[in-house]
A = this chain, B = another copy of it.
Amino acid sequence: MPIKLHSYWRSSASYRVRMALNLKGLDYTIEPVHLVRDGGQQHSEAYRALNPQGLVPTLEIDGQVISQSMAMLEYLEEQHPTPALLPADAPGRARVRAIANAIACDIHPLNNLRVLKYLVGELGVDEDAKLAWYRHWTELGLGQVEAMLDDPATGRFCHGDEPGLADCCLLPQVYNAQRFKCKLDAMPRILAICEALEQIPAIRRAAPENQPDAE
């Protein structure tokens, strides 16, 4: 059974998993799920049968269906350990997971499409206040990540000189931050890491604009 990733080109959680699959050299097909068209294809009955949360991505692999991008990254690391996305030492793994979760838990969920829609729809927030919300949580959160990267363990990438699980979370978040014109100039470590990541062909292939469903 080939690996299948249900993905939306601009979804940063999907982008994380595409990066990991590509870094590990795994073949997979993309099954596009359009988050806006048809009122959001992720809400369809067929998709929710696969993913009861109705969120992208979903990974079909080894006869199972996995939801939640962080669970997918851990699964890929366990089943396809080379190249490793987590360090060999436990303190290093804790550090990488902490950086990854500072993004996956403390930045991304606040700036999801569904949250921005609620702000505008239910709370009647105007466009400027919506953008200010987006930028507030992203700039605050990435500023905290920048502080976490002020550590001798940081190398060319978030942890040492090979791309890993934290980088799989960082680059998609920065991609989104730039789309929303967040101020990142005070974050030289993050910017240098993202520049280094974008030089890796496997990572470039995971970028939103290189997806079959890119618009």
Contact = CB atoms under 8 A, between A and B. Distances in A.
Interface of A: 52-55, 62, 64, 66-72, 74-75, 78-79, 90-91, 93-95, 97-98, 100-102, 104-106, 108-110, 115, 118-119, 122-123, 125, 129, 132-133, 136, 144, 147-148, 150
Given A123-B129, A136-B118, A93 B78 contact: yes
B102 A67 contact: yes
Nearest to A149: B52
Given A78-B90, A79-B90, A106-B55, A101 B136 contact: no
A171 B64 CA distance: 27
Contact of A133 (B71, B123, B150): B123
- For the complex of A and B, the 9 pairs showing the least CB-CB separation, nearest first, are A52-B147, A71-B97, A68-B98, A68-B101, A71-B98, A109-B109, A53-B144, A75-B94, A66-B94
A109 to B, nearest CB: 4
Q: Which of A98, A119, A123, A144 has the most CB of B within 10 A?
A: A98
Q: Which of A71, A102, A122, A150 has the most CB of B within 10 A?
A: A71
